[in-house]
Amino acid sequence: MIVYEYPFNERIRTLLRLEDLYDKFLYFLRQQHPYQHHVALSTMFEMLEVCGRADLKSDLLQELERQKQTLLGFKSHPNVQTDMLDAVLADIDRISTALMGSQGKTGQHLRDNEWLMSIRGRTIIPGGACEFDLPSYYAWQHKSAEHRIEEIANWFSPLLPLFDAIGMVLRLLRESGRPAKMIAQAGSYQQMLQGRVYQMLRLTIEESSGAIPEISANKYMLWVRFTSQDGDMKPKPFENDVPFELSLCNL
């Protein structure tokens, strides 16, 4: 099964982009080759660009507090599993406390590191990080994999509270949706949303179907058009019926 996610607003779009970058960063950080660690650093610089929004930290803190108050309202519900609820509330408290404790503008410690910024400035140039451009970086790449991993992890560590908060907000958002089985007749599906506000759409489809969803949505209408790819990867309309699961998520 493949899950496709579609954000309804710019805030969720930013969180999904940062989550995607974080997943890639962790993957390349865990590898051993200097080229893979170069990709990890480049991905960290991309995160710095996306994190440039000054209100991202405050947005996350407000959302976590709002979710905490909502969940506290379920404590008296007879069908709620209190141990699971308490565990989620404890996670929210821990993540919020760590995020509030992070000082200064997001990623400022990286911007203050002249050596890292010199690498960042060269990586935006195709082939700009060769050994003759950055000999000190070339020397660093010849250190042991363990040394490189430790240093990259240390550079990234002040950003961890932010990404823990992003993970929690997206987890709560995804869990808010209830999947419903749908069928796209002749590869097309429409649904009236009647002005209801959603933050994310999740569409699950069997990989073997070969159908690829193209999604557009606003607060009034949701439209999914399925396509497939031919030999030159050019998309073409998918003309068969397509069964899929649809979740509309909102915190």
Do the Cβ atoms of 122 and 129 come closer than 8 Å?
yes
- Structural domain boundaries in the chain: 9-172, 177-249
pLDDT at 75: 72
pLDDT at 156: 95
- Partnered with residue 226 across adjacent β-strands are 213
pLDDT at 114: 94
Q: How many C-beta atoms lie closer than 10 Å to residue 161's C-beta? A: 21
CA quadruple 86, 88, 93, 94: dihedral, nearest 10: 110
Answer whether 0.75 is exceeded by the pTM: yes
pLDDT at 233: 66
pLDDT at 45: 94
Question: C-alpha angle 117/111/48, rounded to 5°?
Answer: 90
Q: What is the pLDDT of residues 18-30, one digit of tens each?
A: 999 999 999 999 9
Amino acid occupying residue 40 = A
What are the structure tokens assigned to 59, written together?
């947005």
Q: What is the pLDDT of residues 221-251, one digit of tens each?
A: 899 999 888 766 677 888 888 899 999 998 7
Query: Distance (Å, rounded) from C-alpha 156 to C-alpha 160?
Result: 7
pLDDT at 54: 57
Indicate the pLDDT class of residue 53, thresholds 50, 70 and 90. Answer: low
Give the β-pairing of 221-229 and 188-192.
antiparallel
pLDDT at 209: 84
What are the structure tokens assigned to 180, written together?
């419903």
pLDDT at 235: 78
pLDDT at 194: 79
Query: Distance (Å, rounded) from C-alpha 221 to C-alpha 243?
Result: 20
3-state secondary structure of 110: helix
> Which of 95, 109, 111 has the alpha carbon at shortest distance from 160?
95
pLDDT at 52: 74
pLDDT at 30: 95
pLDDT at 231: 64
Q: In this structure, is the dihedral angle defined by the CA atoms of residues 80, 82, 85 and 89, taken in order, positive or negative?
A: positive
Do the Cβ atoms of 210 and 203 come closer than 8 Å?
no
Q: What is the pLDDT of residues 90-131, one digit of tens each?
A: 899 999 999 888 877 888 899 999 999 999 999 888 888 888
Q: What is the pLDDT of residues 153-207, one digit of tens each?
A: 999 999 999 999 999 999 999 988 889 998 988 888 988 887 788 899 999 998 8
Q: Which fold has domain 9-172?
A: YacF-like (1.10.3900)
Give the β-pairing of 2-7 and 242-249.
unpaired
Strands, E assignment, 23-160: none
Indicate the pLDDT class of residue 6, thresholds 50, 70 and 90. Answer: very high
pLDDT at 187: 83
Per CATH, the homologous superfamily of domain 177-249 is: YacF-like domains (2.60.440.10)
Query: Distance (Å, rounded) from C-alpha 9 to C-alpha 251?
Result: 13
What are the structure tokens assigned to 120, written together?
């960042």
Query: Distance (Å, rounded) from C-alpha 141 to C-alpha 36?
Result: 10
Q: State the DSSP code for 177.
A: -
Do the Cβ atoms of 88 and 75 come closer than 8 Å?
no
> Which of 199, 113, 122, 203 has the alpha carbon at shortest distance from 151?
113
Q: What is the pLDDT of residues 194-210, one digit of tens each?
A: 778 889 999 999 888 88
